Amino acid sequence: MLSRIGSQQMARNFLSDLGRTQVAISDLQRQLSTGKRVSDPSDDPVGVALALNIRDDLESVRAWRQNVEDSKSWLSATDEALNNYQDVVQRAHELTVQGANATLSADQRQLIATEILALRDQVVETGNASFGGRYLFGGTQTNRAPMDPAGPGLTAPVNTNSLNREVGQGQVMSVNITADRVVDPPGAVPDIFQTLTDIGTSLQAGDIQTVSAVGISRLDAHISNANSLRGEVGTKINRLDLTSSRFDIDDIARQTQLSSIEDADIAKTVMDLQMRQSVLQGSLAVGARVMQRSLVDFIG
């Protein structure tokens, strides 16, 4: 059965099709001007939801990356301070070896003892090293000097708490070395202050045997401890470098995924726009010919 379409119905269909074409052209022009395929949630609800999740991930990584960079700076400053401390202990070791020489006079040993005892103040100075106005070896009390020059020794009460930073999803790292670990190596060896005091006292008393048999071995333990702490710091810096590199790779992947969701394919969009514009021009041309005809054209 044939259906008949009146002129009004034809006009409505034509205007509806024309409107859809104009809307499509407007959308393509917006994509070209903004470079984005998705500007509103209605453009791609599923894509927008994925994009929001990706942006949340990027924000989290940005915060972790900042923690990583801050931690690396803190650890680098710690390594420098430990290096300075190690130089002090190494100097004490050299002086102790010299003082153990039996050919030295009592006056020469007194001079060496004086310098060794003065090195205790150097230990305090290196132990109170700071970074950004915060004491490196102060545990979680970074606003309080961990070493007291009056002793000299550690400032009581000694803070031995770890300074933790979140550097990734579920990854928490301790980024500090506390003062007690710096001056007091594992085992039965006295801390560096007591060690230097004992060596200086033995030299003043001319007790070369104690200096040679005890003092040097104790300083060896302190040097080994400093090496171990610097190795620990270096390991953490390497780990943070790897974490930072992983963040870089993940960022590229997320940005690529985000671009595939939100960004317009410019070449395809240009082609689609040209096609739609051709369709619009053709529709207008056909519509102009069809819509101008009326009943008068069929009379006579």
- Summarize the confidence of residues 157-163 as an average pLDDT: 95
- Answer whether CATH 3.30.1360.70 is correct for domain 52-258: no
Buried b (16+ CB within 10 A) or exposed e, 126-143: bbbbebeeebbbbbebbe
pLDDT digit string (tens) for 199-238?
A: 999 999 999 999 998 999 999 999 999 999 999 999 999 9
Question: SS3 sequence, 131-188?
Answer: ECCEECCCCCCCCCCCEECCCCEECCCCCCCCCEEEEECCEEEECCCCHHHHHCCCCC
How do strand 134-135 and strand 147-148 relate by DSSP bridges? unpaired
The contacts of residue 263 (CB under 8 Å, 6+ apart) are 35, 36, 37
Q: Report residue 105 as tokens.
A: 């006079």
Distance of CA 5 to the CA centre of its chain: 70
Residue 295: pLDDT band (50, 70, 90) is: very low
Give the residues across from 80 on adjacent strands.
none
pLDDT digit string (tens) for 3-62?
A: 555 566 666 666 666 566 666 566 655 655 566 666 665 556 666 567 667 667 667 778
**pLDDT(1) > 60:** no
pLDDT digit string (tens) for 65-106?
A: 888 999 999 999 999 999 999 999 999 999 999 999 989 999
In the chain, domain spans: 8-35+266-298, 52-258
pLDDT digit string (tens) for 168-188?
A: 888 899 999 999 999 999 989
What are residue 159's phi and psi, to 5 degrees?
A: -90, 115
pTM above 0.85, yes or no: no
> What angle in degrees, to the nearest 10, is found between the helix axes of 192-205 and 106-127?
170
Q: Which residue in this structure is represented by tokens 């390991």? A: 235
One-letter amino acid of 54: I
DSSP class per residue in the chain: ------HHHHHHHHHHHHHHHHHHHHHHHHHHHH-BS--SGGG-HHHHHHHHHHHHHHHHHHHHHHHHHHHHHHHHHHHHHHHHHHHHHHHHHHHHHHHT-TTS-HHHHHHHHHHHHHHHHHHHHHHT-EETTEETTSTT-TTS-SEETTTTEEPSSPP----EEEEETTEEEE----HHHHHS-SSSPPPHHHHHHHHHHHHHHT-HHHIIIIIHHHHHHHHHHHHHHHHHHHHHHHHHHHHHHHHHHHHHHHHHHHHHHHB--HHHHHHHHHHHHHHHHHHHHHHHHHHT--GGGG--
Q: Whole-angstrom distance between the N-terminal and C-terminal Cα of the chain?
A: 30
pLDDT for the residue 63: 84
What are residue 146's phi and psi, to 5 degrees?
A: -80, -15
What is the rounded distance in angstroms from the CA atom of residue 243 to the CA atom of residue 228? 23
Is 86 in contact with 230 (CB distance < 8 Å)?
Answer: yes
Q: Which residue in this structure is represented by tokens 């021009």? A: 281
